[in-house]
Amino acid sequence: MLCWMNGEYIDSTEILISPFDHGFLYGVGFFETFRTYEGKVPFLQEHLERLETALHHFHIHMPYTIKEFRTVIERLNEAVGGEGYFRLNVSAGPHEIGLQPTSYTEPTVILFRKPLLERPRGKNKEAIWLKTPRNTAESANRFKSHHYGNNVLARFEVPNLADYEGFFLTKDGFVAEGITSNIFWVKNDILYTPSLSTGILGGITRGAVMDIAASLGIIVKEGNYKSAALEQAEECFVTNAVQELVPIDRIGGVIFEGHTGPVYNRLHDAYLAQIFNG
């Protein structure tokens, strides 16, 4: 796998990260995942703005610009060919053991790229209510951080992530998010999604879908909802930047419309139109 690390193109087998990196020692690290369409990353600015917000919050300096990242993404795709799945990872960088630093000015920045394994659009997944509750975020907002143990524990509860998605509930029993996604459902032509106040990640695709829904005249309601509210829905789907909108056809004994859902189809079509046509 060809990667890019701290300004240099490098094979993944040659990447060396210091054991003193505070991303390793203390979990001080953040990441974004995204994919390319015809070699370009939609919503790249939004991904980098979210990452920059996390880095600023934890006093980590980002030494590279969006223009530089666009160039790296294009070159990594050109070197291998085809569309790519990317993970941009920023950890605090090496320091002595202990929490002495008041800022991190030399982070470890790696852009990983692997071939994109495209999921057939419209292929249903089955959802499972997780026994593992959603943990609280490290701060007022949830970031995509190295604190990923909660998601790992949840992953152990589902047979695989290709055909299933686990749905978290908060400790108070409110619907939160998926292991790797945000959750939406439709009841009486109204689109529902958990509020950010539940401690979920403000997904980039989540935000795009909400904006598209509003432009189509679809009412969107955010709130704190118990599992029963979702189970009464006609449609359910999840979103993330790599898999787009993924229809859910069941959870437990409850059946949803899945890929035939009219609201899901309108939103997914409009999302793709925005990506390809601007």
**In the chain, what's the furthest Cα-to-Cα distance?**
57
> Would you state the pLDDT for residue 253?
93
Q: For residues 176 and 159, what is the distance between their CA atoms, to the nearest angstrom?
A: 20
The pLDDT confidence band at residue 100, using thresholds 50, 70 and 90, is confident
pLDDT one-digit tens code per residue, 20-58? 999 999 999 999 999 999 999 999 999 999 999 999 999
Residue 17 to residues 73, 109, 171: CA-CA distances in angstroms?
21, 10, 36
Residue 140 has what pLDDT? 86
- The total number of structural domains in the chain stands at 2
CA distance readout (Å), 263 to 97, 187, 189: 52, 10, 7
Under DSSP, is residue 171 helix (H, G, I), strand (E, B) or coil?
coil
What pLDDT is stored for residue 119 in this prediction? 85
142 in Cβ contact with 136 (< 8 Å):
no
Q: Give the chain's length.
A: 278
Relative to beta strand 190-194, strand 220-223 is parallel
Same domain for 164 and 245, yes or no, is: yes
Report helix, strand and coil shares of the chain as percent, to nearest 5. 30, 30, 40
* pLDDT confidence of residue 16: 96
Q: How far apart are CA 90 and CA 98, in angstroms?
A: 19
Same structural domain, 100 and 228:
no
Task: Please check whether residue 120 lies inside any domain of the structure.
Answer: no
- For residue 151, give its domain range: 125-277
Give the whole-angstrom CA distance, residue 10 versus residue 3. 5
Provide the CATH number for the domain around residue 58.
3.30.470.10
Q: In angstroms, what CA-CA distances link 122 with 119, 207, 224, 258, 267?
A: 9, 20, 28, 8, 12
- List, in sequence order, the alpha helices (H) in the chain: 22-25, 44-57, 66-80, 149-155, 204-215, 227-231, 262-277
Residues 153 and 197 in one domain: yes
Do 27 and 148 fall into the same domain? no
Q: Name the CA radius of gyration of the chain, rounded.
A: 19
**What average pLDDT does the segment 146-166 reach?**
97
Copy the structure tokens of residue 114: 């692997």
What is the value of pTM for the model shown?
A: 0.96
Domain end call among 96, 115, 134? 115
